Chain A
Amino acid sequence: EVQLVDSGGGVVQPGGSLRLSCVASGFTFDDYTLYWVRQVPGKGLQWVSRISWDGYSTDYADSVKGRFTVSRDNTKNSLFLQMNNLRIEDTALYYCSKDMSPNSSGWSDSWGQGTLVTVSS
C-alpha cells in the first residue's frame, strides 16, 4: 500500500523558515516525480512545487519561487520543502503527492495527510 506521511509544519513568524518532510513507502520511490500542493483552510488547492525522480529537475509556483526549495533523498524515500522568508499568505495545509506514472503525467494518485504551516506574528 502506498503511504505518504507529511511532517514539519508549525507556527512561525513572518520572515522565518520551516522545513517540511514527506516519507514515502509502498512504491519504488526513485521512479516517480513528486509534488507539493497547499491549501488555505476553507479554500482551494494550489500547486507549489515538483521535483523529478532524480532530483535534477524542479519547478515552482511564481508565488514561492526564490523562497522555497524542493529536494529529495532517494536513499531515505524522503521529500523535502525548505521554506524561507515565509509570509502570512503562505499559511496553509501542505500536502506531498506522488505522480501516478513513472513517465511523469503531472497528476497525483497518492497524497499525504497534510501538515499545517501557520505564519503569524
Chain B
Amino acid sequence: DIQMTQSPSSVSASVGDRVTITCRASQGISNWLAWYQQKPGKAPKLLIYAASSLQSGVPSRFSGGGSGTDFTLTISNVQPEDSATYYCQQANSTPRFGGGTTVEIK
C-alpha cells in the first residue's frame, strides 16, 4: 500500500499570506494526486486533480505542483473562506488519503 504523509498538520496564516502544504507518497505515483478542501460539517470538495489541474469553479489562488513522490498545494493570497482542512489523495493504486492539514486564518 502507498502511504501518504502530509505536512504540516496545521498552519496559521493571515489574510493575504501564501500557504504551502506538502504531501509525500511512500513510492512514486507519477501525477496521480488530488487535493480536497473540507469545511466543518461538509463533504470534501475537489480542488486539484492530476497534481496540478484546477477543478472547474475553484479560485485561481489555489495551485498544485509536483510529481513522483513530492507534491504541494499552494494557496496564494489566502482568504478567510479558505479556513478548512485540506487532504491529498493518491489514485495510482488503491486510493488513500493523507492525514490532513488544518489551515486557520488569524
Contacts and interface: CB of A to CB of B under 8 A. Distances in A.
Contacts of B8: none
Interface stretch (A9-17, A75-83, A99-107): A99-107
Interface residues of B, number: 23
Interface string A57-96: 0010110000000000000000000000000000000010
**Most central of B50, B87, B97 by chain A CB within 10 Å:** B97
B97 to A, nearest CB: 4
Interface of B is mostly: loop
Contact of B97 (A44, A59, A100): A44
Given A35-B95, A105-B49, A106-B95, A45 B87 contact: yes
A95 B41 CA distance: 12
A107 B97 CA distance: 11
Interface residues of A, number: 22
Contacts of A100: 46, 49, 55
Contacts of B95: 35, 47, 50, 106
B15 to A, nearest CB: 26
B87 A44 contact: yes
Contact of A44 (B32, B45, B55, B99): B99
B100 A44 contact: yes
**Most central of A47, A50, A107, A113 by chain B CB within 10 Å:** A107
B100 A106 contact: no
B87 A95 contact: no
Given A59-B94, A100-B46, 6 more contacts: A45-B100, A47-B95, A97-B43, A105-B49, A108-B44, A111-B43
